[in-house]
Structure 1
Amino acid sequence: MKHAVVLQHVAFEDLGTLHPLLLAQGWQLQVLQAGVDALDPAEAADLLVVLGGPISVNDVDLYPFLDDSIALLQRRLLQQRPTLGICLGAQLMARALGAQVAPSGGKEIGFSPLLLTDEGQRSPLLALQGIPVLHWHGEVFELPAGARRLASTPACRHQAFAIGHHALALQCHPELDARQFERWLIGHTLELAQAGIDPSDLRAQARRYGAPLAAAATAMFSQWLQELSETAR
């Protein structure tokens, strides 16, 4: 059975719609809590998924476990082991590859479609074209050396990158299960208040876009996992 390790930072930012897809494809899932659990199981996992969270990759003095996560990602990416990063996970991947992560000067929170690059049009992200996806971040990453830029938004030039077929980094949240979105609104209540964002607006967007996003994300992740399987043969 294929072994996938999931590195989780907060309980409500989970695998979302990626969870049933991985189970259906026969993956054995092991969830590690960042800053609590030892990362040893992630070293040789067939797939590592690093999820989002509200902290910054630059907060290593406040959260020393980030150094361990970055070192783990450096080793896996050097070995070309399958790795998927979402939001904070994507930023950690960028940092592990030597790229800068810094505040963007504002918050990008809400649903909007990605603008795919030519590389993105030839990637699994094509399934997301025209589909509003959830964005929730205040920091951005530079493009690591050797990475292919796949997507952007007007507020964020680097929304996704890939390296080979083994590494995919997504600043946005295509994995969102809109049926669980209220957990996000509760968990991020202070951030929303500070940003002057009405949770009822986000709630309405999730109701409108949740189902098409789930279908598109399942297609996108399915194709990426299929390409992983083909390159591993």
Structure 2
Amino acid sequence: MNREVLAVRHVHFEDLGSLEQVLGERAWFVRYLDVGLARVEAPNPEAPALTVVLGGPISAFDDASYPTLKPLLALLEKRIAAGLPTLGICLGAQLIARVLGARVHALGRKEIGWSGLTLTEAGRNSPMRHFDGAHTSMLHWHGDTFDLPADAVRLASTNVCENQAFSWGANVLGLQCHPEIRGDRFERWLIGHANEIESTPGIDAKQLRADTERLSPALERAAHAAFGEWLDALAPARS
């Protein structure tokens, strides 16, 4: 059985986090493709059992400045057309939405920090129920958003951003938020995003660090349950 996972990583500190542990427990083999160090067009899009496109500080619609977006969009298009399991987190979710024909655009403000998700009925009946804002908080870190793609199902929202999570078919999941975050790795986020933190009014590294220390343990437990459930429920790809 194919258990290869291709994780497309834009910046080194935004990795699979909690998801990597869940995959390891299920004996899935993870291979990272680091954008800028490897050719995005090199892998066979249909070879991995699961492809995860992770977050990053660029905009999903800025093809002119970042030519790596074009082959990445092509990779996602082929996987989704083949019905293969595909997960997008933050930038990855925006790219999936774009492949599905939705508009990706600036949110109008930064959503950075911890706040709970409000789940839709569909979200409460999916693995996302583990992220219910009544029980756990969620890390957010983005300035762009996307319209809900046609035929997609909205799973979660916040007051700032309506489309926080969606599913499309049985095997595609987009998460604007960051359920994968691990508290013991968060200092790298603060260092890597230092300029953005300093230039965003109302955002403070000390507060982000304190909130993460307090809230990440519950999120890590929720992510372990949610990711595990989602992986176990993946449907066979269409022939």
With the length of structure 1 as denominator, give the TM-score of the two structures: 0.96
Alignment pair present for 1:105 and 2:108: yes
SS state at 2:233 partner: helix
How far apart are the structure 2 equivalents of 1:211 and 1:175?
12
Match of 2:192 in 1: 187
- Distance in 2, matches of 1:58 and 1:191, equals 19
Q: Give the CA RMSD over aligned residues.
A: 1.1
SS for the counterpart of 2:59 is: coil
Residue 115 (structure 1) aligned to one of 110, 118, 129: 118
- Give the 3 Å change call, closer, same or farther, for CA 4–42 of structure 1 in structure 2: farther
**Residue aligning to 2:11:** 10
CA contact (8 A) 1:17 1:218 kept: yes
Give the structure 2 partner of residue 32 of structure 1.
Answer: 33
Q: Distance in 2 between matches of 1:28 and 1:62?
A: 33
Instruction: Tell me the equivalent position of 2:154.
Output: 149
Show CA shifts across 1:99-157 (max 9, x none): 11111110000011110011111111001112101000000010011100000000000
The amino acid across from 1:59 in the alignment is D
Q: Which sits farther off after the overlay, 4-13 or 14-23?
A: 14-23
One-letter amino acid of the counterpart of residue 136, structure 1: W
Q: What amino acid is the match of 1:80?
A: G
Q: How far 1:73 sits from its partner (Å)?
A: 0.7
User: How many angstroms does 1:232 deviate by?
Assistant: 2.0
Structure 1 position 232 matched with structure 2 position 224: no
Equivalent position of 1:59 in the other structure: 62
Q: Distance in 1 between matches of 2:43 and 2:19?
A: 20
TM (norm. structure 2) is: 0.94
Paired position in structure 1 for 2:174: 169
Residue aligned with 1:146, SS: coil
Question: CA separation in 1, counterparts of 2:146 and 2:83?
Answer: 21
Secondary structure in 1 matching 2:4: strand
**In proportion to residue count, which structure has more helix?**
1
Distance 1:30 1:42, change over 3 A: farther
Task: State the percentage of identical aligned residues.
Answer: 48
The answer on 1:201 being equivalent to 2:207 is yes
CA distance in 2, matches of 1:145, 1:73: 16
* Partners of 2:51 and 2:78 in 1: CA distance: 12
Q: Quick one: distance in 1 between partners of 2:64 and 2:3?
A: 35
Instruction: Letter of the 1:63 partner, please give it.
Output: Y
Count of aligned pairs: 231
Give me the whole-angstrom Cα distance separating, in 2, the residues matched to 1:220 and 1:160.
13
Q: Is 1:135 the counterpart of 2:137 in the alignment? A: no
CA distance in 2, matches of 1:48, 1:207: 30
SS in 2 for 1:156: coil
> Which runs of no fewer than 5 residues in structure 1 stay unpaired?
none
Change (3 A) 1:28 1:98: same
Runs of 4+ with >4 A deviation: none
